[in-house]
């Protein structure tokens, strides 16, 4: 089998099974695991998969640039955002991560909800300017343009002074094996710090992120309260997620 044919086969397996196990595919094709690993390196370099130990997983579409992500899974993010808003108690302090799903939360906050929002995203802060009853505190620092959030030492120092009731965490991948992941190591570290400053952490897991993976681990599942997702409740990936973390299905009453 030619290299191009092998890679086409690997992509078919990834689409069908949601993962590639290098050892299994090598045995099926009667070739060495080294050949499969080389193919996976090439596919990963083209952005077609995310390599993990022993094989590969689907790459997250949420790794696109900020403007591009605003056009991805708009309805899905809106469902997740609406469910997240139902978890905000009046008078509480909310840590709101950057990203387009977090931005969707600002669009569905009730006009009479009184709370405090702390965010390191100037985009999210600006979206709340017109909200009549939400107090907004902005964590400043160097702008990380991919996600439009503040980063660096100044942002870290400011975040350490925050104490919140709930943190809505944005990630680019939610996978039962790879865990909660994102595309930048420094951003992953900032997310971990923000989670440590809140009593509860909910993951904003719109459907396109479920079953996908990115290079950098954010948090273990036991460090978060739940994953909010609109992915089908009966899907195999969601069933496996329930073995690790509570899943809140978007559109259903919050518990």
Q: Which residue has the higher pLDDT, 19 or 136?
A: 136
In a domain, 255, yes or no: no
User: Within this chain, do residues 157 and 82 fall inside the same structural domain, yes or no?
Assistant: yes
Condensed to tens digits (0 to 9), the pLDDT of residues 68-80 reads 555 555 788 999 9
Task: Give the CATH number, domain containing residue 49.
Answer: 1.10.10.10
User: Within this chain, do residues 191 and 213 fall inside the same structural domain, yes or no?
Assistant: yes
Condensed to tens digits (0 to 9), the pLDDT of residues 90-115 reads 999 999 999 889 999 999 999 999 99
* pLDDT at 221 (0 to 100): 97
In a domain, 234, yes or no: yes
* pLDDT at 234 (0 to 100): 76
| Residue 128 in this model has a pLDDT that exceeds 90 | yes
In a domain, 254, yes or no: no
Domain extent for 220:
66-249
User: Within this chain, do residues 138 and 177 fall inside the same structural domain, yes or no?
Assistant: yes
**pLDDT band (50, 70, 90) for residue 58:** confident
* pLDDT at 67 (0 to 100): 52
Mean pLDDT for 21-48 is: 88
Map the chain to HEC letters: CCHHHHHHHHHHHHHHHCCEEHHHHHHHHCCCHHHHHHHHHHHHHCCCCEEECCEEECECHHHCCHHHHCCCCHHHHHHHHHHHHCCCCCCCEEEECCCHHHHHHHHHCCCCCCEEEEECCHHHHHHCCCCCCEEEEECCCEEECCCCEEECHHHHHHHCCCCEEEEEEECCEEECCCEEEECCHHHHHHHHHHHHCEEEEEEECCHHHECCECCEEEECHHHCCEEEECCCCCCHHHHHHCCCCCEEECCCCCC
* pLDDT at 255 (0 to 100): 44
């Amino acid at each position: 089998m030619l290299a191009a044919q092998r890679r086409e086969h690997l992509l078919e397996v990834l689409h069908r099974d949601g993962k590639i196990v290098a050892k299994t595919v090598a045995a099926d094709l009667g070739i060495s695991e080294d050949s499969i690993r080389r193919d996976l390196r090439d596919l990963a370099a083209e952005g077609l998969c995310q390599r993990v130990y022993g094989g590969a997983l689907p790459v997250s579409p949420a790794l696109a640039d900020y403007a591009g992500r605003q056009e991805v899974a708009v309805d899905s993010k809106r469902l997740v955002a609406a469910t997240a808003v139902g978890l905000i108690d009046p008078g509480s302090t909310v840590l709101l991560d950057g990203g387009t799903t977090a931005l969707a939360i600002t669009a569905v906050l009730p006009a009479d909800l009184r709370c405090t929002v702390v965010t390191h995203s100037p985009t999210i802060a600006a979206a709340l300017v017109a909200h009549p009853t939400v107090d907004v505190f902005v964590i400043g620092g160097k702008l990380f343009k991919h996600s439009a959030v503040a980063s660096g030492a100044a942002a870290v120092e400011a975040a350490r002074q925050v104490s919140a009731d709930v943190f809505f965490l944005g990630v680019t991948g939610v996978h039962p094996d790879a865990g909660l992941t994102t595309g930048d190591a420094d951003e992953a570290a900032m997310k971990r710090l923000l989670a440590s400053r809140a009593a509860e952490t909910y993951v904003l897991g719109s459907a396109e992120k479920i079953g996908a993976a990115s290079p950098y681990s954010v948090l273990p599942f036991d460090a978060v309260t739940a994953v909010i997702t609109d992915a089908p409740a009966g899907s195999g990936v969601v069933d496996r997620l329930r073995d690790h973390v509570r899943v809140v299905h978007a559109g259903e009453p919050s518990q």
